[in-house]
Amino acid sequence: MLLITTHFISDLKYITTIARVFLEVLSSDHELPYLPFADRLAMVPACEALWPHVSMATAKRRWRKAIRFALFSVRIAKFKGGNSFPRKGPSNYVCARMLASTMPLHISKTILATCRALGIIFGNAFSIVTYIALSRVLHKLYLRGRISAEEWQYRRRQSTYITGPPDLRSSLNPVWYS
């Protein structure tokens, strides 16, 4: 079995999920489908199919390149001298609001030291801590009367995840699940 990956940004849950599935497939008893090398090679497109300009005549390729350069030059010329689109809207656009909060350095060091003492990494603790923080925020909203009792009950059993594949079993209809 060949596992091909491209450039990706990952975290521990993603890597452990990939490793778990990969090792389950390797340790399973059933045979993996096998295709002979000639059949697998037939599925790969030829280089000429990926770059169709190779089959064109040299003169045709030069003309296409010249037309492409002319169109590109016209497009770039529009951006010289500032913004190509005059301002027609109001001067006070709506700004998106973002709430950012930082912790003091001594609290961050305490969190990392606690994780290190327990033998876990912050990536594993982060999802649990964020789940607890979100639960506290929702509970405060419920106590203040900003969300209804039905919304609070729905949010309590709704699966919450930060990274990795979601666990939707708690949200399934029990009749369908059984």
Per-residue 3-state assignment (H helix, E strand, C coil) for the chain: CCCCCCCCCCCHHHHHHHHHHHHHHHHCCCCCCCCCHHHHHHCCCCHHHHCHHHHCCHHHHHHHHHHHHHHHHHHHHCCCCCCCCCCCCCCCCCCCCCCCCCCCHHHHHHHHHHHHHHCCCHHHHHHHHHHHHHHHHHHHHHHHCCCCHHHHHHHHHCCCCCCCCCCCHHHCCHHHHC
Residue range 141-148: average pLDDT?
Answer: 92
99 has pLDDT over 50: yes
Instruction: Say if CB 165 and CB 17 are below 8 A apart.
Output: yes
Which pLDDT does position 154 carry in this prediction?
A: 84
Residue range 1-15: average pLDDT?
Answer: 60
* Model confidence, pTM: 0.35
Chain position carrying tokens 């599925």: 43
Instruction: Say if CB 165 and CB 21 are below 8 A apart.
Output: no
Instruction: Say if CB 160 and CB 131 are below 8 A apart.
Output: yes
3-7, 73-77, 140-144, 150-154: the lowest-pLDDT one: 3-7
Band the pLDDT of 1: cuts 50, 70, 90: very low
HSE on the CB side for 21, CA within 13 Å?
Answer: 8
Chain position carrying tokens 């001298």: 81
Instruction: Say if CB 171 and CB 159 are below 8 A apart.
Output: yes
